[in-house]
Amino acid sequence: MSGIEKYDLTEEEFENSLKMAELAILMPMRPAEKPKSVFIISQAGGGKTGLRRFVESENFQKSPENIFVGIDPDEIAVYHKYYEKIIREYPRESYMQLQKFVKPALDGYLRQRAVQLRTNLMQEGTFGTTDGYINILEFQRNGGKASIGKIQDDGNREQIQVPGGYDIEIDILAVDRFESLLSSYEREQYFIESNLPPRAVTAENHDRAYFNLLKTTQEVENRGLYDTMRVFKRGKSETEPELVYVSGEKQYPSITECIRQVRISERKRMLEKPEAFLQRIENLKQRIKTEVQRQKIDQLEKEVIEELEKMKNAR
């Protein structure tokens, strides 16, 4: 076998890598009497890292004794047996290759195991796959059976009944599509310039999560799979988001509608004074090296200019 496929894990290598991740991430944590699960949600480029730091600081100030396990795919990837070789030899393809380990490790074992251990959880996500997130929330809230026991003779894990009962907080950063798409492209270029594995984002993948975020939020609202849900927008700095809405307040008919209205408002604000945004596009175009990147940025610039023309003609 040649190419990056030579670093595909065997079943034994997968289990050994999974065990290392479990020991490092979950085992040091003590169970919480009343476990809490916090979701940090936005599309790619939305600013989840900044919101997460804000929420972590907020929780520490309220209850410094409550330690949260960060369910971070990037951290889990480190425990892939061939992580360093993949990063060094195939930086551009590394993300997708590592996902072959990260996704089944996270969604098939570590999330459920963390709930069984009753640890406080801090998770970043996009709400991009509605069914997947509904399953995660229902499991944390109501419990259920999970294949997290000992490996049986047939190679499958024993099913264990896991209690739920988590207090669930969902914090959503509402960001307009143009802003998050440009931020994604800027981040990709920064990673390239820093000799880090680039997080290549296509407009198609970005938009799928962007629109599904509304769909998933609506479904979570309808099912009542949360205790608190908050909507933020970007603030003066990355780690100072502005709180817009808390579930139960009356200024919006629903959380989903709040997100929609904040996005519209942020788009309007940018289009009224587009110079800074267009300059960011121009600055990025001066830094990029590949035709694929150039095509993505040119398309975004074209869409922004078309929106400006529509707004001008509507006046």
33 burial via Cβ count (<10 Å: 0-12, 13-18, 19+): exposed
Residue 191, both tokens: 């990673």
> Helix 291-314 vs helix 203-223: angle between axes, to the nearest 10 degrees?
60
H and E: helices and strands count for the chain: 12, 8
Tell me the pairing of strands 157-162 and 167-173: unpaired
pLDDT of residue 177: 98
Q: Give the C-alpha separation, 79 to 89, whole Å.
A: 17
Give the CA distances from residue 52 to residues 16, 64, 229, 280, in Å, rounded to whole numbers and listed in that order: 30, 16, 14, 25
pLDDT by 10s per residue, the chain, length 315: 668 999 999 999 999 999 999 999 998 788 999 999 999 999 999 999 999 999 999 998 988 888 898 888 888 999 999 999 998 888 778 888 999 999 999 999 999 999 999 999 999 999 999 999 999 999 999 999 999 999 998 888 999 999 999 999 999 999 999 999 999 999 999 988 988 777 778 899 899 999 999 999 999 999 999 999 999 999 988 889 999 999 999 999 999 999 999 999 999 999 999 999 999 999 999 999 889 899 999 999 999 999 999 988 887
Token pair listed for 173: 């950063």
- CA–CA separation, 278 vs 280, rounded Å? 5
Helices (H), 122-244: 130-142, 177-193, 203-223
Amino acid at 277: F
Length of the chain: 315
The string of DSSP letters for 247-268 reads: TT-SSSS-HHHHHHHHHHHHHH
CA distance 143 to 136: 10
92 DSSP assignment:
T
Please report the pLDDT score of residue 2 as a whole number: 62
pLDDT (0 to 100) of residue 1: 60
User: CA torsion angle for 64, 69, 71, 75 (degrees, to 10)?
Assistant: 100
Q: Kindly report the backbone phi and psi dihedral angles of residue 27, in degrees, each rounded to the nearest multiple of 5, phi listed first.
A: -65, -35
Closest of 33, 45, 41, 40 to residue 58, by C-alpha: 40
C-alpha span between 201 and 207 (Å, rounded): 10
For residues 297 and 280, the answer to whether their CB atoms sit within 8 Å is no
